Structure formats: C-alpha cells, structure tokens
C-alpha cells in the first residue's frame, strides 16, 4: 500500500498531528514545572524559616541584653559586693521581686561561692560549675551565659547568666549572676510559633539539649538531651545558622531554620514548618494540572477534528474566492508555497502572493507604528511612575495618568508647565541643572528633589531623563520615594539618639564613664603623637555624704546636676570633654592645655560652684564646694608611657591632697606624683 505524500495531507489531519506533537513539549514543561514548583517551595520554605529563626533569635536575645544591662547595673550598686552581706541579699531580693524573668539573683566571690542571694541564706558553690570555671578563666569576657542546669535553690530548669566584677590585680574578683525563668521565655517563643503553626525550639548544641520546645511535647521536659538527632547534627555543623530538612522531635518531617542568639552564642533558636503541610499545595497543583492536561488533550483533539471543517476548510474556501477577486486587481504579485504545504494553503498562497507586493509594505508599517504606540500607551498609563515628555523649550507636552496618584494633579493641569514650576525653592537649581544636561544631549538618572503636591506639602521624587532620538524634546520618568526618604530620616535620627544615650550620664547630662575613658585614650594617643599638652581634672564634691544625709538624695541629685551645669559652662572649648566619673566625682579632659592653663580653668570651675551658694550645713564652709586635682601630660613627656591611667592616678593624688588641705582647693600634681 502506497503511503500518501506529505503534500497531500489535509489541514485537519495536520492540525490533529500538530496537537499531538504539541503535547510532547507541553508534557515535558509540565514535568519541569512540577519539579521546579517542588524545589522552589522547599527553597522558599527554607528561606522563610531561616529568616523567622534569625528574627526570633534577635527578639529572644533581648532577654540576654536586658539581663546583661541588669547585671552591669547591679555591679554599680554600693551594697552589691563580692563579699555579700545582709544588705546585699536584701537588695537582690527586691530586684528579684521586681523581675519575673529571673528565678534567682545572686553574687559569687572569687572562689565561686555564693555570698549574696535573693533567697539563699547559707553560702554554697554555684550550681553551674562550667560557668564558674569560665568566669574564673584568665581573659574571660565580662558577660557570660552558662549551660542548661537545674537550679539548686529554685529547683527549676534554668540557664545562668553572669557578669564579672572588675578584675582584682588581674584575677577573678567575683560576679553577679541571674538564673533565667524559662517559663517567661516560653511566652516569647509562643508568639514566634504563630499560634502553634510553627515549631520553635531553643537548643544547646554543646550539650545536645533542647532547652525549650513549643508547642510542648508530652514526655519532653525542659533540657531533654537528643544527642543523635539530625537537627542537633545540623546545628553543630552550621554554628552560624542555616537550614535543615529533617524529622522533628515529634517524629514529623519538617523544614527547620536556625540561628544562634546574639549575645548568647551557645544557645540556638530553631523554627520548623511541617513538610507535609508545605508540600500539600504542590500535590494539589500536581493533581489539578494532570487532570487539566489530560482534559486539554482530549478536548483539543475533539475540537480540532470538529473545528477544522467548520473554522478552517470552509472559511478558507470562502476567503479564497474573495482573495481571488481582490487579486484580480492591480496587485499582480504571486506567492509560491512549498510542496509540502496543504493543497488548500497552496491555493490560498497563490492568491495572497498577488496582493503581497503592494499591501505588505503599508500593512507592516502600520502594524509597527500601532504596536509601538500601544506599548508606549500601556506602559505610560499603567505604571506607578510619572512619565512626561517636554518640547525643545522644556515645557511638558505629555504627562502620564500617574500624576494623579503621585502629585494630585490631572495630566492636563501639568501640560505646558516646566519642571522647575513645582520644584521646592531650595531645589530649583538642581532641576535647572538637570534640564540643561538633558537638553544638551546627555541622559541623567538618580536626580532627587522635592515637588509640590496639589494637596499641600512636597513629595520627594527620583528622576531619570534622556533626550529623544530625533532631537525634538526630552522624556523623563519620575518616581515617588517620599516614604523611603522619611524612613531614612527617622532611622538617622534614631541612630543619633541611641549614640547620645550610649555616651551620656542620665543624671547630669555629662558624658558617662565609658565615653570619658574612650575620649581620654584617644586624646592621650593624639598628644603623644603630636607632642602636645594634655590636662585632666578630677573633681570631687566636698562633704557630699553629709549633704545627702542632711537634705536627702533627691536634693543630692539636684546638687550634682547644678554642679555639672557649672562645669560644662566653665569648660566650653570645642575639644574639652566634661564627664561624670562616678558617684559625686566629675572629670574633664582638656586637650592642648598646659598645667598653668588647666589650674586656671579649674579655679574658674571651683569659683563657679561657690557662686551657686548651695547650702551645706555639713560642710565647714557652710555651702557646697568642690576640690579639684589637676594632672598634665606635658608636651614630649608621654613617649615612654603605656597608657593614660597614670594621668588619672596623678589627678586623683592631687585631689586627695586638696581634700587633706581643707577642701575647696585646686591642687596640681607634681612631677613626683606623676
């Protein structure tokens, strides 16, 4: 039997064959889509849980930041000493009562013995021996977080945090510690779990323990060890955070993201989502797509069979008759189709060939222009950015509809205006420069300025522009970024406030001790390098304890504030720094000031305090006075010195001499004292 040649196969049969061949790449694309969908779903889930873990870790780290700040504050309280005592225990009991975040609060001495505690009245060794050893180790950090333990006093599962007292001759001097209430931490973790939709864990990789698990699991207590669990293995392998697709503690497959807690690197927070739940949409899409693909194949085959006669063969015969009459005109062109084309199409091709020569050029040109105009109009009328065109004089001849949303003006209201007409007065120069550049033939981008809004006020916009190819004008794209500008300004203001708070004493408004130490080290190094003078004042309020005992601590605080104001007013050079050294002691760093100059300024401060005339019945002078010790690093005298500590010691000795000689004096340190 002789098979028909390809040229004799009709359109209907060709379409049916085409549908069959089309299904092959469609099926391949479908398989690729399912695989890609699965991969992207898992990747998206991993990104999501890791981001959630990082965010939750940062949130949970707040507890340790608050703990560190509390412990640092407790170390400054006079009653809280490594030697302990009743006053210490009483004070810590009050601190514990006011902070439900902690089970216990206490103090250990240099031997690791609890000497002060909110509840314990008998001295004993710290329960977290490993934390004790880390605190006592040379070079240990000031703030440490221990491992999971069961508190000996509270009897509750907990994690200890400790902050050491200043080193005593280079050795461990003791520390203030607090045991965290894990129930309080569970409340924060519950919020992260999104109502139990996500599994949240606090892990201690070094001991393979799960400190917390939410939602809680029956039979999994606080601190349960899971040394061989795949999640523990993944956390140990990626200490800086990552993701893992493993079986959860509850035996359900999950996708976990985890991250260490800032400030407590030995604790890791993990967030997990049920893998089956994540993949349910993928399975559903697979089922729907499979049914859809099969349905499409069956329907397409039937429709091609039925429609090929109704919508292809019959219309082509009618169009062929019409085209033959049109082709009998003045077009005269011929078109020969390939031999393998269908007979119907070859007949139709001969007719179209007769019209092609004259119609194709006009038709193609019209389609190109229409498509270009349609694309531009769709872009201009649907983008959120304002698109404008200006003529050679710089006046707008077209404005896109986005002007209503961005500036409150209808496009017609802006036609004929120049960009500078609505610019902020301070930004007119920027706009004029931009227009000159673009009209000079160069493109611009990233130009920021403010534009008046119809409803009042100004909006920040980012503009890009370029000259048109035919030189008949310019086109600009204007994007509103006011919200981003406001956020940037708020962020800058918040950072400035945080920087000020971190370096300012809350009572006096002067620089705090940390800022003083940092600035003194900087100025000392600068003075040594530049071979210049550097003076340091140590100031103490005379008989201040008697003042507090007589007039009360609120009056004492007000007294310190007034003295601090007088000090700041007396030392106003740009390079001078005034600070609160501690308690009733103030200090000042005076770069570029020699000893006579420093003594002169110290006398100005002393007299300024006397002029305040603050009554003090506990002083032999009858009013509040100050004593000042002055120490100076003379130009060229600092090369052999290791640091600025000697300058503080010299000023302190001079202050002691001023106290010993009747107070209300200024004494400069001698060369022997230095």
- Annotated active-site positions, please? 584
CB atoms within 10 A of CB 671: 8
Question: Is-contact 639 528, C-beta < 8 A?
Answer: yes
Can you list the alpha helix ranges (DSSP code H) found in 512-583? Answer: 513-530, 544-551, 553-570
Rounded Cα distance between 110 and 126, Å, is 12
Burial class (CB in 10 A: 0-12, 13-18, 19+), 107: buried
DSSP assignments along 433-479, one per residue:
HHHHHHHTT--EEEEEEEEE-TTSSEEEEEEEEEE-TTSS-EEEEEE
Question: Is-contact 75 163, C-beta < 8 A?
Answer: yes
Question: Is-contact 104 153, C-beta < 8 A?
Answer: yes
- β-pair type (626-633, 666-668): parallel
The CA–CA distances, whole Å, from 49 to 46, 202, 203 equal 5, 14, 16
Query: Helix (H, G, I), strand (E, B), or coil: what is residue 394?
Result: coil
Instruction: Provide the edge-to-edge strand list for the sheet that holds 474-480.
Output: 396-399, 386-390, 474-480, 458-467, 444-452
Rounded Cα distance between 324 and 634, Å, is 110
Question: Is-contact 203 235, C-beta < 8 A?
Answer: yes
The dihedral built from the CA positions of residue 562, 567, 569 and 570, taken in this order, carries a sign that is positive
CA-only gyration radius of the chain, Å: 41
Question: By C-alpha distance, which of 510, 636, 625, 642 is closest to 576?
Answer: 510
Question: Is-contact 274 33, C-beta < 8 A?
Answer: no
Rounded Cα distance between 205 and 449, Å, is 53
Query: Helix (H, G, I), strand (E, B), or coil: what is residue 393?
Result: coil
Rounded Cα distance between 47 and 166, Å, is 43
- Contact partners, residue 564, CB within 8 Å, separation at least 6: 508, 509, 510, 578, 580, 586
Query: Helix (H, G, I), strand (E, B), or coil: what is residue 663?
Result: coil
Query: Helix (H, G, I), strand (E, B), or coil: what is residue 156?
Result: coil
Rounded Cα distance between 663 and 150, Å, is 54
- β-pair type (626-633, 534-541): antiparallel
Question: Is-contact 59 192, C-beta < 8 A?
Answer: yes
590, β-bridge pairs:
535
Question: Is-contact 316 348, C-beta < 8 A?
Answer: yes
Rounded Cα distance between 389 and 396, Å, is 6
| Assigned token pair, 87 | 């006053």
Can you list the alpha helix ranges (DSSP code H) found in 77-118? Answer: 86-97
């Amino acid at each position: 039997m002789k098979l028909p040649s390809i040229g004799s196969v009709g359109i209907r049969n060709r379409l049916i064959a085409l549908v069959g061949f089309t299904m092959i790449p469609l099926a391949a694309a479908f398989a690729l889509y399912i695989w890609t969908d699965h991969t992207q779903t898992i990747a998206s889930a991993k990104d999501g849980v890791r981001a959630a873990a990082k965010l939750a870790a940062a949130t949970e780290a707040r507890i340790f930041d608050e703990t560190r700040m509390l412990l640092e504050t407790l170390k400054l309280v006079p009653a809280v000493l490594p030697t302990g005592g009743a006053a210490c225990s009483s004070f810590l009991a009050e601190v514990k009562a006011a902070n439900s975040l902690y089970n216990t609060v206490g103090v250990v001495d240099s031997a690791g013995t609890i000497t002060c505690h909110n509840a314990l009245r008998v001295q004993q060794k710290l329960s977290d021996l490993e934390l004790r050893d880390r605190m006592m180790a040379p070079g240990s950090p000031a703030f440490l977080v221990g491992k999971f333990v069961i508190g000996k006093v509270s009897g509750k599962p907990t994690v200890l945090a400790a902050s050491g007292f200043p080193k005593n001759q280079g050795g461990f001097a003791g520390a203030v510690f607090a045991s965290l209430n894990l129930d309080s931490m569970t409340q924060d973790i519950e919020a992260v779990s999104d109502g139990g939709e996500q599994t949240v864990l606090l892990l201690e990789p070094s001991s393979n323990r799960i400190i917390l698990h939410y939602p809680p699991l029956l039979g999994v207590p606080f601190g349960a060890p899971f040394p061989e669990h795949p999640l523990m293995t993944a956390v140990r392998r990626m200490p800086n955070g990552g993701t893992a697709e493993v079986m959860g503690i509850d035996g359900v497959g999950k996708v976990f993201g985890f991250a260490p807690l800032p400030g407590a690197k030995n604790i890791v927070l993990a967030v997990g989502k049920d893998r089956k739940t994540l993949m349910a949409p993928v399975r559903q899409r697979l089922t729907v797509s499979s049914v859809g693909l099969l349905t499409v194949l069956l329907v397409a085959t039937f429709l091609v069979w039925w429609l090929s006669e109704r919508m292809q063969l019959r219309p082509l015969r009618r169009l062929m008759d019409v085209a033959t009459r049109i082709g009998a005109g003045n077009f005269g062109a011929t078109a020969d189709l390939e031999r393998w084309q269908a007979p119907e199409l070859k007949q139709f091709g001969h007719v179209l060939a007769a019209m092609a020569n004259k119609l194709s050029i006009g038709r193609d040109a019209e389609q190109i222009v229409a498509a270009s105009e349609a694309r531009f109009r769709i872009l201009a009328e649907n983008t959120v950015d304002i698109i404008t065109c200006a003529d050679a004089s710089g006046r707008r001849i077209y404005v896109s509809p986005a002007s209503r949303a961005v500036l409150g003006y209808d496009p017609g209201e802006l036609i004929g205006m120049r960009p500078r007409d609505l610019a902020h007065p301070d930004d007119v120069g920027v706009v004029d420069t931009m227009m000159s550049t673009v009209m000079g033939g160069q493109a611009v981008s990233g130009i920021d300025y403010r534009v008046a809004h119809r409803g009042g006020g100004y909006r920040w916009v980012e503009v890009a522009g370029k000259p048109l190819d035919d030189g008949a004008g310019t086109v600009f794209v204007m994007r509103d970024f006011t919200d981003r500008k406001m956020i940037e300004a708020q962020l800058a203001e918040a950072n400035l406030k945080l920087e000020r708070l971190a370096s300012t004493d809350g009572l006096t408004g002067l620089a705090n001790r940390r800022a003083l130490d940092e600035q003194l080290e900087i100025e000392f190094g600068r003075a040594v390098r530049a071979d210049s003078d550097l003076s340091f004042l140590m100031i103490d309020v005379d008989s201040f304890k008697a003042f507090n005992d007589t007039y009360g601590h609120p009056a004492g605080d007000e007294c310190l504030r007034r003295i601090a104001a007088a000090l700041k007013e007396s030392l106003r050079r740009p390079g001078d720094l005034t600070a609160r050294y501690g308690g009733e002691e103030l200090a000042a760093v005076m770069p570029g000031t020699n000893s006579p100059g420093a003594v002169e300024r110290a006398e100005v401060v002393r007299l300024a305090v006397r002029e305040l005339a603050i009554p003090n019945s506990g002083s032999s002078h009858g009013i509040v006075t100050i004593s000042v010790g002055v120490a100076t690093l003379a130009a060229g005298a600092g090369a052999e010195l290791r640091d600025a500590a000697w300058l503080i010691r010299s000023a302190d000795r001079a202050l002691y001499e001023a106290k010993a000689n009747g107070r209300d004096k200024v004494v400069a340190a001698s060369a022997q004292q230095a």
